[in-house]
Amino acid sequence: MPAPLRPPPIVDPVVLARFPFLPQAEQWIKELREQNEVDLDSLVNADWLEEARTRGTVRMLESIVHDKGIDADSRMDIHTDYGQMVEGLGYYYTMFVVCASLDERLLKRWVEGEATRADNLLSTTSDSELFDMIARTYLSDLRRHDPPQGESGTPHLHSSRARAGDDRSWEIPLADFVELAPRITGSYWRLTNRPVSAGWVLMNGTAREDSQGRLSRLIKERIRVQLIARCQANISRMDEQVTAMLAEPVGRIVAELQTQRGSEVQVTAAEKGDWPPCMLVAITELNAGENVNHAGRRFLANMSRALGLPPEQCAGFFVGAPDYNENTTNYQVAQIYEAEYTPEKCDTLALNNRCPVASGLIEDSLCRREWLTHPLKYVRARQRTRQRDAQVVVEQDAPEAVPDGAEEAGSGAADGAEAHRMAD
């Protein structure tokens, strides 16, 4: 891979807060966590980190949905220590949640949004030193093209940026172009249409976009590749306990996306075999014509929403109820889906006689784990186990793919110790 083995150092926290996906930002985020004593539990639950979680969630939704475009600018004042912390930890939280979803489609949509945000920022910056530094993070080299005497560059009608007095086109090594350009459609990106000289490809501007914009588009592809690889590595280091700790925020983001885009975006990888026994028992009882109590019905609707199931499928669970009325059921399901309720915790279900394990109706060893306090944690733990089992079958000759320390959840290891190796 032509990308530099050692990217240029970037220590300016303003730059790192604006571009938290940079590889140079990993150490900065690690230092933020250490300085503020942030572990996985506090990242997910601490009240004082609520603004970071909110910022991360907004950023995540923009990246995944991006039907109104990507907001490249931060809503925080990243020139302050607090704003930098919110941006850095908000991004870190976002990556945790996306990885814990174990959903490749969700991951790729998030990565696409982050890469598009980077493209927007880089193509519009007038800071030539900043652009050069970030470009050298993702490309093996680059240089300015000096046209022959009397030759002018291609005019670009839609450039609204000042270029610090240098409007020359960029050139990049052939190896970088050959690796990244095939991922982009359009005649411009065919090697036969690019001027090449002594192993350098000219990234000249067009009538629609200047050279910096063209190069930013190419860098976007490298960012996409690196982010996907980083997320896949993170997922491989997550165990059942870590994914369970993040089950509730994953459920909230899945439900929010389901509400915003309906069935257009299917973002849950949960199969029926992943569903918790409290949900399956409620469905079974309704199918048998039993009168499930109000708490059980509300939980079933809330859980369906959190799993990203369409309202029609949720309403179908109630067809066998003895008091079933189609119009009433559809209305009540719609109300719950719009209200954005979080599914009830295990203690609440047990209190309302809706936990089949606590009542002795069935036995499930996973439900007996000390850390399993919410049905969504059950779902994510099952997903992680299923995914890991599938990897074992496919990669029998590659045992090193399972990282050291990925012990079974509940083994007594400190909460979050595995997860904090994600971005280190």
CA 319/CA 258 separation, integer angstroms: 22
| pLDDT at 26 (0 to 100) | 94
What is the model's pLDDT at position 281?
94
To 5 degrees, how large is the angle CA 164–CA 167–CA 168? 130
Predicted confidence at residue 88, as pLDDT, reads 96
Quick count: other Cβ atoms within 10 Å of Cβ 273?
9
DSSP string, 8-56: PP---HHHHHH-TTSTTHHHHHHHHHHHTT--HHHHHH-GGGHHHHHHH
Q: pTM, whole model, 2 decimals?
A: 0.67
Question: Is the pLDDT score of 39 beyond 90?
Answer: yes
Region 126-143: mean pLDDT is: 94
Confidence of residue 86 (pLDDT cuts 50, 70, 90): very high
pLDDT band at 308 (very low <50, low <70, confident <90, very high): confident
Residue 49: phi, psi to the nearest 5?
-100, 10
Q: In the prediction, which pLDDT does 396 show?
A: 54
Least confident range of 69-73, 127-131, 277-281, 362-366: 69-73
Query: Which pLDDT tens digit goes with each residue over 393-424?
Result: 555 545 443 333 333 333 333 344 444 444 45
Do residues 83 and 74 touch, judged by C-beta distance below 8 A? yes
